[in-house]
Structure 1
Amino acid sequence: MEENYFRVNPDKINQNYFSLNKAESNHFLKSLRGNIGDEIWLLDGLGIAYKGLICSINDECISGDIINSFNDYGEPNYNINLIIGLIKGKRMDLLLEKATELGVKSIQPLALDNCVKTKLNQDRGEKIIISAAKQAGRSFFPTLHEITGLQDWLNAHTGEFSILCHYNSKDSMLRIIEKKQNSINIIIGPEGDFSERELDLFKKTKIQSVNLSSRRLRSESAAIVSIANVNQIMEN
């Protein structure tokens, strides 16, 4: 069988034994035509991956033995937290998917002055994240936080290393980021950009800003580019 990843509830790992829920079992049995004796990868979403051996199929639910476990499987040794103004529908879906594939630790949606969208379907967002994490083979599923305001976020994260991505900046990530950083907050504006009030807040908190491109990027594009840039700097 090809290398496929399945979500396993941590509560369903009992010493050297595991079981999958009906949805994951159906995917194994009906989509992949799996059977007893197959080896599969299990992701608990908390940072551990397991290699498992299918031993039993009972009422369309599968279970088996744990062969091995791997801490921080598929995870970088630094944290990227994406803070982004809410964007519309499918663009937000794309953002959640690609940010997860690129290795972010958490995603914090912000309700900003120029946001067109004011609500987020939390359940849908978390399903997209889990699906993307399985696709990418990540043992940790990024946290999708509840929507908050900019001032509240700034108050809660004083002193953390944060970067504001804005097209008016003259600086670059390569100059600002040092490899010794173990956690980086990337801040991206909404489709309507930050308001002057919000830009003033960033200046008061002395958050450094960077320019990602000579062209103005959509919010989801800016997020993808910024995460990829951080990965390249930290891993090279």
Structure 2
Amino acid sequence: MANEQFFFSYRIEKDLVCLDRDEHHHLSRVLRKIAGDAVLVSDGKGMLYQTEILHVGQDETHCRITGTFPLAGESANKVSLAVGMIKTAHWEILLEKAVELGVYEIFPIITRYTVKSGMKRERCEKIILSAVKQCGRSRIPELHEPLPFSDLVRKKHKDPIYICDNQEDYPLLRTGGTPEDCLVLVGPEGGFHPDEIRLARDAGARPVVLTNRRLRTETACMLTLSRLVV
């Protein structure tokens, strides 16, 4: 199913689906779908629908739901990333690959060594949606607004928190064991300041190391997700 192309719609009511705007344009003008064709539609919240096209209009396409696939393409556990913001080109790669590797949600954080504290939300959301379609997920990971590192770690988190650092005496972040929901903190270029490590530890975060090599932020995120997402 991951190899099949599908569409997104927030206009789903009972057994009917409406595709509009970009989704309608791609279906009708690019793929030239017609009434009677079968297409997959996701609500972006974890439900994938098998549908049959009823009518392709000028501005909208209407479909009838014929089957459901809950959590299609989703992971067994929820791994969230809190990432120190980095330069735009690297940030966009990070978003794309994190989605493909199964990230649950992303918190952009502003740290002591952050070089860029803003992001173009519309552009980021397009990258995320494109990656979701490419890898066959049924849920769109949430991208939160940037927030200071201290605000994030002081929030109440019900799941374990790991903070990545390159200290040799920290335990290695490993795979295996029972899959768990968790939040992983990854620093920007330059990593986390020692005061941030202390603050995170005081909030209950467990320091871990990914490798004995220095990694780019986006590479560290990919390695983290590849080890933890099941």
TM-score by length of 1: 0.90
Q: Give, in angstroms, the shift of residue 185 of structure 1.
A: 0.5
Which SS does the other structure have where 1:120 is aligned?
Answer: coil
**Counterpart-to-counterpart distance in 1, 2:199 and 2:86:** 21
Q: Give, in angstroms, the shift of residue 55 of structure 1.
A: 1.8
Match of 1:30 in 2: 29
Question: CA separation of 1:159/1:64 partners in 2, compared to 1, >3 Å: closer, same or farther?
Answer: closer
**Counterpart-to-counterpart distance in 2, 1:86 and 1:216:** 17
Q: Give, in angstroms, the shift of residue 196 of structure 1.
A: 2.1
Match of 1:173 in 2: 173
Alignment pair present for 1:195 and 2:225: no
The 5 A counterparts of 1:61-140 are: 61-140=60-139
Unmatched runs of 5 consecutive residues or more in structure 1: none
Match of 1:5 in 2: 6
Which SS does the other structure have where 2:52 is aligned?
Answer: strand
RMSD: 1.8
**Counterpart-to-counterpart distance in 1, 2:78 and 2:116:** 27
**Counterpart-to-counterpart distance in 2, 1:216 and 1:21:** 45
Q: Give, in angstroms, the shift of residue 100 of structure 1.
A: 0.9
Q: Give 4+ residue runs of structure 1 displaced > 4 Å after superposition.
A: none
Unmatched runs of 5 consecutive residues or more in structure 2: none
Q: Give, in angstroms, the shift of residue 120 of structure 1.
A: 1.4
Alignment pair present for 1:208 and 2:206: yes
Q: Give, in angstroms, the shift of residue 149 of structure 1.
A: 1.1
Q: Give, in angstroms, the shift of residue 22 of structure 1.
A: 2.3
- Give the helix-richer structure, 1 or 2: 1
Identify the range of structure 1 (88-97 vs 69-78) with the bigger mean alpha-carbon deviation.
69-78
Question: Paired residues, what number?
Answer: 227
**Counterpart-to-counterpart distance in 2, 1:65 and 1:140:** 20
Q: Give, in angstroms, the shift of residue 220 of structure 1.
A: 0.4
**Counterpart-to-counterpart distance in 1, 2:77 and 2:179:** 9
**Counterpart-to-counterpart distance in 2, 1:39 and 1:55:** 10
Quick check: 2:201–2:207 contact (8 Å CA) kept in 1? no
Which SS does the other structure have where 2:33 is aligned?
Answer: coil
Identify the range of structure 1 (87-96 vs 206-215) with the bigger mean alpha-carbon deviation.
206-215
**Counterpart-to-counterpart distance in 2, 1:179 and 1:45:** 27
1:174 counterpart letter in structure 2: R
TM-score by length of 2: 0.92
Kindly, what percent of the aligned residue pairs are identical? 30
